[in-house]
Structure 1
Amino acid sequence: MMRCFVSMLCLLIACSFARADDAPRTMLRAHLEPAGPVVAGSAVKLVVDALTTSWFTAAPDWPTFEIHDAFVTLPDDNALNLNETIDGVQWFGVSRVYRIVPRASGAFDVPALSITLHTGGTDTPVTLQTPPQTFTATLPAGAEGMTSFFPAPNVTATQRIEPQDGKLEVGGTISRIVTQHADATESMLIAPVQFGEIDGLRRYAKPPATRNISADRTGLVAGERTDTVTYVVNRRGRYALPPIDIEWWNTITHQRETIHLPAVNFTARAAHEKPLWEIPADALAGAARHTVIFLNARDVVYACIALACIVAGAWFYPRMRAAWERVRRAWIAARRKRAEGEFAAWRALKQATDSGSMRRVIPALYRWMDANPRFAHPARVDEIAEPDLQDLAKAVETHYERAESVESGVRVKLHRRMGWRRSRRARGPALPPLNSQ
């Protein structure tokens, strides 16, 4: 009986060991290619192998990680199936390659990666870690002091500003778009553009847009990276987006080169806001959007000047209007006086004399004598003392006696006196002196 019990116990132990040997086994391997120092800008491969003695029910969870001053990528097209015999045991698995591109010189530490494996024959996932790795990168001669070492056969860069017309108001936005094109380089390896903060503007950076340009036969041709930043204007004024310098290492000439993008200047004016007193009260009561009015010292000065002009105009307008009326009345009086004065009477007399009609000459002569202050009022023809005009006076007296027309000789003499009469200005009293006795 005892011998039977011992036999059964040994059988159970053997079966337990057999089940333990049948449990799937897992393993992670990791190494760097190349293992020695590399030149900054060249790719270092981190090869990670996930192995099991059974099979994978799901793909391993490949994590992502970052290394300072280096680009780390995990391409989707580099998975490789494994089938190996290790110490007489058959192993199956998959291999993935991380690409690490250092941007500067120095030592780089690759952290340990935690990878979860889903194997067949067990319901519990297994999480393993890769050993940490270390590699060293150096810079070629002449590349020392570069902010970011970026090697490529050729690099070009352009910038675009939106809106292009530069018409901005407070609260508006302006976008600066920089596109880099690098030959024979993946877009993910192109260094990002650094946009700084600007006083008076609020900066919003957008995610970069990258694309690889490939050809059917040659494969990768170039890579493009587009960085976009948007600035929101907080206050009015003049602004300048600083210039951008992009450094890169020319792998053909083995020299450092720089691409310079010029600064961008623009002016933002105050927003045309609706005055607060024009907003309906029910709109404010309903929690409507408030209107913000931006004012600065120059706006206040302009408002004060405009107000002073309005007040001065209201104060001076009645006085200026009265002064204008006085000037206008004086001008009208002067014109009337000239039209009714000696000069106008003399011109009418000349025209009447030229016509040769005594019916026109006699009234014109008496009108001129009445307008002349040297004659008494009422004036008489016999008071004419000028020798040249005495012929005209005699013609008038003869007209009453014989009713004849004025002679042509008188007309000629009157023409000769015209220039003298225009320039002469008598300054005598309009009325005869009063009798002082």
Structure 2
Amino acid sequence: MRMFRLIRLLFLLTFFACAAARASGADTAPQLMIRAHLEPSGPVVAGSQIKLVVDCLTTTWFTEAPDWPLFTVPGAIVSLPDEQAENLHEVINGVDWFGVSRAYRIVPQTGGPFAIPSFAITVQPGQASGPVKLMTPLLTFAATVPAGAEGMSTFFPAQKLVATQAVEPSQERVKVGDQVTRTITQRAAGTQSMLIPPVNFSDVAGLKRYPKAATTKDIVEDRAGLVAGERTDAVTYVVDHGGKFTLPALTIEWWNTNTQRKETIVLPSVTLSAVAATEKPLFAIPVDAFTKDAAHRIVVIDRRQVVLLGLLLIGVFALVWAYPRLLTFYGRVRQLAIAARRRYAEGAAPAWRTLRRATREGSPQHIIPALYRWMDRSHEFGQPARLDLQKRPDGESSHAIAPLVHAVNSHYSNQASAALHWTEAETSLRRAMKRARKERQAEPPLPPLNRY
């Protein structure tokens, strides 16, 4: 019993101690601190980078990464590289502080004083009721330019700078409603693309200007590292009315770090001649369509194109309507061609060529069947054709055909084949065919009437 009371007493003491510790922890909120400093702290040369290092600290921990916003500094380029935040752990006045640190990059483009405005960073410390905003301190720095660069609107130092321009479409004559895009590409050796200053495109009377978002890229090699930076600026002009227009020349100033002198690149002007379209645009395009980098096209109806399209549609409908008739006509022509080819293949000309090939071989087994096949197809020697029936007009047997008749009889009577001189036989056959044709033409077209 005494042991049970002792255990219950120890349990109550432990419970009250935990409750007291929890109450004291709830009353103690996490402490927060923000620091900011510049590297280097003194004056810098325009065109060079200066770091703004910002530290966010707390006595507990951060449940989420701080929100690092971008800010603007007039006359300078501000960026936040994609680098991992640095974790911090410091002991200040005997208290442990934990936090993260990140560095902004600021590049002044002119000489003179600069002020970095105070901006808010949102953090989420542990054991806090909600997010907390920390304000950075206001910082200032000064930038200088070398002698000879005081009058430059933008001080851009580089080892080498090359600028090119392209105009699309390239032809000088355009129509009202067409788009003309002017693209300027700058390539700076040994310089990050984000440091290349933008190109300022001016307005042109008669043209509507729609700037596009710039594109940048760093050219990096494995061994050499950063080789060059490239920036591309583009603007689209829409032709508002007919006439001549001139895209003004562009002047780019930069500071050559090798020669320590100011250099100038002049891109020539471009002259355009716009003619009025034959028809008005089909519909108007909103102005904000060009500012959102959306794909757009101005549709212009040309009378000649409409006529060509109409003729094309008529031709298609006519072809569909005439397709069955054309198919039937094609079938008839194909049947006629097949019949003509069959008649030709069964005619005397192919049989005569077969006979000539057989005579070149010199074999009676091939010559004699080819000879009778030709005589049957020529229709000049009777049906069936026989050599021994070929007579002269006086009724006597032809002395020229007699050797050929003798050779045929010898072949079919299984006797020794007689000598056959085909040249003489061919001449005789041609004469016999001509004679038979004349006799057939001399016959009356009608048979004689029967007399009773």
Measured against the shorter chain, the TM-score band is 0.5 to 0.7
Unaligned segments of structure 2, at least 5 residues: 1-16, 283-297, 303-452
For residue 185 of structure 1, report the CA deviation from its aligned partner.
1.1
Equivalence map 1:32-431=2 (5 Å): 32-77=38-83, 79-273=85-279
For 1:228 and 1:192, the matched residues in 2 are separated by 10
Question: Hey, what's the Cα distance between the residues in 2 that align with 1:36 and 1:275?
Answer: 60
Letter in 2 for 1:90: D
Aligned partners of 1:65, 1:188: CA distance in 2, in Å?
16
**The residue matched to 1:63 in structure 2 has which SS?**
coil
Is the partner of 1:253 in helix, strand or coil? coil
Please report how far the alpha carbon of residue 161 of structure 1 lies from its aligned counterpart in structure 2 after TM superposition. 0.5
d(CA) in 2 for partners of 1:84, 1:95: 12
Secondary structure at 1:207 match in 2? coil
Partner residue of 2:36?
30
User: In 1, distance between residues paired with 2:180 and 2:151?
Assistant: 33
SS at match of 2:234: strand
CA distance in 1, matches of 2:195, 2:100: 26
* Deviations 1:77-108, CA, capped at 9 Å, x for gaps: 15211122212222111111011100111110
Equivalent residue of 2:180, what SS?
Answer: strand
CA distance in 2, matches of 1:216, 1:269: 52
Count of aligned pairs: 272
- How far apart, in 2, do the equivalents of 1:23 and 1:274 lie? 71
Q: Is the 8 A contact 2:281 2:299 kept in 1?
A: no
Measured after TM superposition, the shift of residue 133 of structure 1 is 0.1
Alpha-carbon contact 1:78-1:97 (below 8 Å) kept: no
TM-score (normalised: structure 2): 0.57
Deviates more, 1:217-226 or 1:103-112: 217-226
Is the 2:38–2:52 contact (alpha carbons within 8 Å) kept by the matching residues of 1? yes
Report the structure number with the largest CA radius of gyration: 1
CA-based RMSD of the aligned residues comes to 2.7
Q: Secondary structure at the match of 1:188?
A: helix
Secondary structure of the structure 2 residue equivalent to 1:171: coil
Tell me the distance in 2 between the aligned counterparts of 1:63 and 1:206: 24
Deviations 1:256-300 (A, max 9, x none): 001110011111111111799xxxxxxxxxxxx99999xxxxxxx
CA displacement, residues 8-35 of structure 1 (integer Å, 9 cap, x when unaligned): xxx9998698426753221111001111
Match of 1:301 in 2: none
1:397 maps to none
TM superposition shift of 1:228: 0.4
Contact preservation (8 Å) 2:278, 2:301: no
SS of residue paired to 2:25: helix
Q: Percent identity?
A: 55
Letter in 1 for 2:269: A
Q: Is the Cα contact below 8 Å between 1:61 and 1:115 reproduced in 2?
A: yes
In the alignment, what sits opposite 1:365?
Answer: none
The 2-side partners of 1:169 and 1:197 are apart by 19
Distance 1:50 1:33 in 2: 17
Which string of whole-angstrom CA distances, capped at 9 and with x for unpartnered residues, describes residues 307-350 of structure 1?
xxxxxxxxxxxxxxxxxxxxxxxxxxxxxxxxxxxxxxxxxxxx
Q: Aligned AA for 1:134?
A: T
Check conservation: 1:80, 1:95, Cα contact below 8 A.
yes
State the TM-score, normalizing by the size of structure 1.
0.59
Once residues 135 and 160 of structure 1 are traced to their aligned partners in structure 2, the CA distance between those partners, rounded to angstroms, is: 39
Paired residue secondary structure (1:161): strand
Could you tell me which runs of 5 or more consecutive residues in structure 1 were left unpaired when the two chains were aligned: 1-10, 277-288, 294-437
2 CA distance for matches of 1:72 and 1:275? 43
33 and 146 in structure 1: CA distance in 2 versus 1, 3 angstrom threshold: same
Instruction: State the distance in 1 between where 2:281 and 2:213 align.
Output: 38
Instruction: Tell me the distance in 2 between the aligned counterparts of 1:148 and 1:99.
Output: 18
Cα distance 1:19–1:261, how it changes in 2: closer, same or farther (>3 A)? same
> Aligned in 2, Cα 1:172/1:21: closer, same or farther, shift over 3 Å?
same
What code does the residue aligned with 1:263 have?
S
The answer to whether the Cα contact below 8 Å between 2:177 and 2:281 also exists between their aligned partners in 1 is no
Cα distance in 1 for residues equivalent to 2:215 and 2:161 = 17
My pick for the range that moved more, 215-224 or 142-151, is 215-224
1:145-180 deviation line (CA, Å, top 9, x unaligned): 001100111110000010012331011110100000
Take 2:174 and 2:190, find their aligned partners in 1: how far apart are those partners? 40
